[in-house]
Amino acid sequence: MAPVVLPAPRPTADIDDDQELVLEELTREQVLEWRNRAAADHQLVFDHIDRYGELSAQRLFTRAFVAQVQRLASLGHLDLGYTTWSQA
């Protein structure tokens, strides 16, 4: 299996934005940084899927997290699944 190549995480000042990293060479801290950024901005997961595929996203962010993000996206931002007090 060929190594998966990722762009460098943005918050790291020492790495150029155009430089790419190999998934297997990421440190634990870099993986946690990717996961924290994805938890704050789910679009990062979709961008990663578009560029590298769903399997790569599942390996980086965890299969369960990718599935949860996709499930929540299909619900829409305002679909909370319950009625408000005024409608009850």
- What per-residue confidence (pLDDT) applies to 14? 42
Q: Tally Cβ neighbours within 10 Å of residue 82.
A: 7
Work out the average pLDDT over 62-66.
Answer: 96
Closest CA to 62 of 23, 35, 37, 22: 35
Distance CA 83, CA 88 (A): 7
Is 58's pLDDT higher than 80? yes
pLDDT given for residue 25 in this prediction: 86
What angle do the packed helices 63-75 and 28-40 form, to 10 degrees?
A: 10
CA–CA dist 57, 64 (Å, integer): 11
**Residue 51's pLDDT band (boundaries 50, 70, 90)?**
confident
Provide mean pLDDT across the span 23-52: 91
Element (H, E) at 19: none
